[in-house]
Amino acid sequence: MSRAGVFISFEGIDGAGKSTHIESLAAAFTAQGRAVTLTREPGGTPLAEKLRAMVLNDAMDPLTEALLIFAARRDHLLQVIEPALARGDVVLCDRFTDATFAYQGGGRGFDGPTLHTLEQWVQATPAVQPGVRQPDLTLWFDLPPETAAQRLAGARVPDRFEAQPVEFFQRVADGYAARARAAPQRFARIDASRSRHEVWQQITATLVRRGWLSIMVSAQSGPR
């Protein structure tokens, strides 16, 4: 029996602690026999990774930044995400369009209606499904910007976003909250200020509730 693909995105401000959980979730899905495509934005294809390097390192105006991010997304969707969903994979994507609304919209103050237009163009997949491609579930790692800043302090050389002050991340966090209010069925808020184990429990409970992860596999897995 062929299984339907599942598209899950991971969001939150820098320092929210998504990375280890994405890896663990990939392992948990693999353990229950699912094929997993693990990917990220900006990036996920050779072209989109080149665009990522520019966006994270080169100075540019906000419209150029938004256009490069959406160009990378278009390539990623067509080359990686849509084919993986068509095969029936679980696609785990470290950030997707909500990050653009949070960082470029909230953080940079870029014009929301323009982002909505780009979202409609770039995520339209008429050959595959009518409408606009969105994740089936977005795990939103929510925590206060001050806590995230403490976690990030001294961790590595910051990129153009990580180098921003705490006020920027407050606007990014507000941007995520607004997206979550607009799509409450798609968003699951994870309290990322809790211990790593408690965060993992919140994630697996969400996936078990949706019928995508078995209780047994979720109990045996988790970040080390």
Q: Which residues are near ligand TYD by CB under 6 A?
A: 14, 19, 41-42, 69, 94-95, 99-100, 103-104, 161-162
* Nearest residue (CB) to ligand TYD, 60 versus 216: 60
Separation between Cα atoms, residue 22 and residue 129, nearest integer Å? 27
Taking the complex as a whole, how short is the minimal distance between the CB of residue 130 and ligand TYD, in angstroms? 24
- Work out the angle at residue 48's Cα, subtended by the Cα atoms of residues 52 and 89, and round it to the nearest 5 degrees: 120
Instruction: Return the number of the residue (6 or 99) whose C-beta is nearest ligand TYD.
Output: 99
* Nearest approach, Cβ of residue 3 and ligand TYD (Å): 27
C-alpha span between 27 and 143 (Å, rounded): 25
Q: Which residue number, 32 or 79, has a Cβ lying nearer to ligand TYD?
A: 79
Work out how close the CB of 87 gets to ligand TYD at its nearest, in angstroms, rounded to a whole number: 23
6-12 sheet: strands from edge to edge: 36-40, 90-94, 6-12, 137-142, 187-191
Q: Is the preceding peptide bond at 42 cis, omega within 30 degrees of 0?
A: yes
β-bridge mates for residue 38, sequence order = 92
Shortest Å distance, C-beta 34 to ligand TYD = 23
CB of residue 158 vs ligand TYD: minimum separation in angstroms?
9
Contact 172, 43 (CB under 8 A): no
On the 0-12 / 13-18 / 19+ scale of CB atoms within 10 A, 138 is buried
Q: Which is nearer to ligand TYD, 35 or 54 (CB)?
A: 54
Closer to ligand TYD at the Cβ: 34 or 75?
75
